[in-house]
Amino acid sequence: MTVTDLPAAPASDRTGTAVGRSWSRPDQRAKLDGSAQFLADLPHDHALHVRLLRSDVAHARLTALATEAARAVPGVVAVVTAADLPADADRWGHYVCDRPIFARDVIRFAGEALAAVVAVSERSALEGVHALEVEYEELPPLLDVRAAMAEGAARVHEHEPVAGYACPDADRLVAANAFYSYPVHFERATAPAEPEETVTVEHDYTFPAVYQYAMEPHAVIADWQGDGVVIDTSCQHPFQVREEIATLFDLPVDRVQVRVPFVGGGFGSKSYTKMEPIAVAVSRVVGRPVRLLNQVDDAMVTTRRHGMVLTMRTSVTRSGRLISREAVVRMETGAYADNGPTVTMVAALGAVGPYRWNRVAIDAHCVYTHLPPAGSYRGFGATHVMWASESQLDELAEEVGIDRLELRRRNLLARGEDYVPGRAPVDADLLGDLEAVARAIDWERTRGAEEGCGIAIGISPGGASRLSEARVELVDGTIVVHCGSQEIGQGARTVHAQIAAETLGLDPSLVTVPATDTTRTPYDRSTGASRSTTVAGTAVQQASLRLRDQILDAAAGRAGPRGELEIVAGSVIGPTGVVPLADLGHLVGEGDAHGIGGGKGPEIFWEVSAVAAEIRLDRRTGAVDVHRVVTAADVGRAINPSLVHRQDEGAAMQALGNAMFEELEFDERGALLNASMMDYRVPSTRDLPQEVHCLLIENGDGPGPMGAKGCGEGVFAGMVAAIVCGLGAAGVRMRELPLTPDRVSRALHAGEVDR
């Protein structure tokens, strides 16, 4: 595979020394030599080991759970079940409070935790799990999202939905399997005076459930200490976990301490609360610290990407003007809501697409089933629907005889136009991004009968929340940045060090960024929605500016007048002297991101990526080879260009797996069939394109530091769409993912060849 980092467009400001350069990551050596400590590496000699008994059926009444034999296993200290917890205080969920710590009466998915065996060793805990005896009254499961929405379908949850501690729109919750809906309906009076003939396409599309496959499964160490709890966890949202645990266990927030070591990847799988309630509950019951480490098969039933069924209808005039877009989006969220409503909202927005329409009618639904819970996964919502949106544009272009790129040129929204009324306007040059990848992929080149080239735009609301705070300290002549955004492999600590260094006029090597501890680290809402650089980075920049003022105030007089001082190479330099930073004592600057962005909607920025993909099709076997890929990362300003390239390339390769072969497979009883690395396939080196090119688009138009905005998720939606469109250009329209050879072959032999 050839990876090319193509030159960036000129940025508006390249005067600094820290920003705009590919500084090495401070965690690089530790991660390469093995000295980096992830949660499973943390020493905790007194922690007991926990293994879980999980249900092997998707829907049942739990009639008996015998624990005596398990308690008799040598080394087993306790067996904890729902019977050990208060009946009215064990339901949790940040959006909908719908999930028990352990199944109490009803089992709602295969893999649901029924009991925890606590032992002095991992082996004893596992033997204890095998000794547990459980009896079910099995019930019919709802495994299909359409069946769950059908009139008269049994309810997955009998009780009324209760808003969780962080539910932004509780008024949308209803007592039904389709418990949350998000409509996007609007009309624009842009029709011409004379009506034109229109062409319409309408199809159903399916996107399967897939797994995030972070290298490190979920892991928690919980230590209940009588009037509070200390939690070490591999999570993306430590402050949200703190709030949920405080709410669930009726603790003051300041009695919940959450610490996060290195995290071995997340991609949304470690967003919000996952395993922490179980670990805390068990520690409270046994009165000892406990260690709960998911295995891969555990993690795969803890969270995943939503499955989706979509019906989409699009109309265009014969002259190539888009008229209307209608869609019904059915997001299959599994047995518990998790972050499903937010995913559903983003899917509704994604189904619109970044184009001008006369009329839009989108209805997106979040639907309970008896499958494992689905939550956040990189590029969620937009990735689900935008491949269908872009594919329909290609079909319409062919029907009306207009080049596929030209149809997009005529209809793409311009900077400043409303994406959806009431939401933030478009803040990027979408057409410029598209033209850049078209040139790089050589769009006009004639390709052979076995080849196809697809081009697409990915766009998604970014930033999620303005709630980020930071504290930047001068300590013994060095700078310490305290920021709650997590380092999950994306380079957040590196970028925050660069932002602080740039603001203070220092070398990034003088800046350190410690791990998060909620008792010491300022509040940050979350590590997700591509917000670490843009939002948390703004808080770091503001805190650094305030520290800079304090440094110059402290050195004023000693090195010259305040207005004539500057910070250079670890000292304050002025016309009458030089004052080393180490001589200024301990100074602190605090900042936040509360004022970032000025859009009409909750979006702080739109994350945008244009993608082009060149594919080769083997018509004998249906095998599809993604040969060449060009991505455009529209980042406003690349704080660290190398990290931006790696984000885009990594997302593109993950998206390739989603498009080509990843799929969680369940049997007729709802049990996961491919819950291992042997059975669940992710991209290997053999699957990678021959060429991957990443363009940096730097227009300085982001709301973050130095004009930056987030990256790494928009490319996911664009990549899946570009691959599907490339296959369509080769003559095969696909409406079901993944694009496995058998599916493509069936489409070929079923007459779905379009040329």
What is the set of active-site residues?
A: 713
The answer to whether the beta carbons of residues 616 and 450 sit under 8 Å apart is yes
Tell me the three-class secondary structure of 115-162, residue by residue. Answer: EEEEECCHHHHHHHHHHCEEEEEECCCCCCHHHHHCCCCCCCCCCCCC
d(CA 177, CA 160): 11
How far apart are alpha carbons 209 and 672 in whole angstroms? Answer: 11
Q: What is the DSSP letter of 370?
A: S
Measured in whole angstroms, the distance separating CA 247 from the mean position of its chain's CA atoms is 25
SS3 610: strand
Would you mind telling me the total number of residues written for the chain in this entry? 755
The answer to whether the peptide bond before residue 738 is cis (omega within 30 degrees of 0) is yes
Residue from 222, 390, 206, 212 nearest 290 by CA: 222
DSSP, res 604: S
Cβ burial of 2 (10 Å; 0-12, 13-18, 19+) is: exposed
Q: Residue 468 and residue 485: Cα distance in Å, rounded?
A: 8
Closest CA to 21 of 483, 492, 508, 535: 508
Residue 617 φ then ψ, to 5° = -115, 130
Q: Coil, strand or helix: which one is 531?
A: coil
CB atoms within 10 A of CB 188: 12
Angle at 363 between CA 357 and CA 368, to 5 degrees: 155
Q: What is the Cα–Cα distance from 467 to 524, expressed in whole angstroms? A: 6
Instruction: Report the Cα 474 to chain-centroid distance in Å.
Output: 34
Helix (H, G, I), strand (E, B), or coil: what is residue 642?
helix
- The structure tokens 């004023």 sit at 556
- Exposed, middle or buried by CB within 10 Å (0-12, 13-18, 19+), for 200? middle
Q: Report phi then psi at 442, rounded to 5.
A: 60, 60
In 3D, which of 167, 240, 164, 714 has the Cα closest to residue 468? 240
Residue 719, both tokens = 């990549």
At a CB cut-off of 8 Å and minimum separation 6, what does 576 contact?
A: 559, 560
| CA atoms of 601 and 461, how far apart (whole Å) | 10
DSSP letter, residue 25? P
Closest to 303 (Cα-Cα) out of 273, 278, 265: 273
Q: Contacts by 489-493 with C-beta closer than 8 Å and gap 24+? A: 489/263, 489/264, 489/265, 489/266, 490/532, 490/643, 490/647, 490/712, 491/25, 491/640, 491/643, 491/646, 492/527, 492/532, 492/533, 492/536, 493/25, 493/26, 493/27
Tokens 């020394």 label which residue?
17
**Token output for 544:** 């650094």
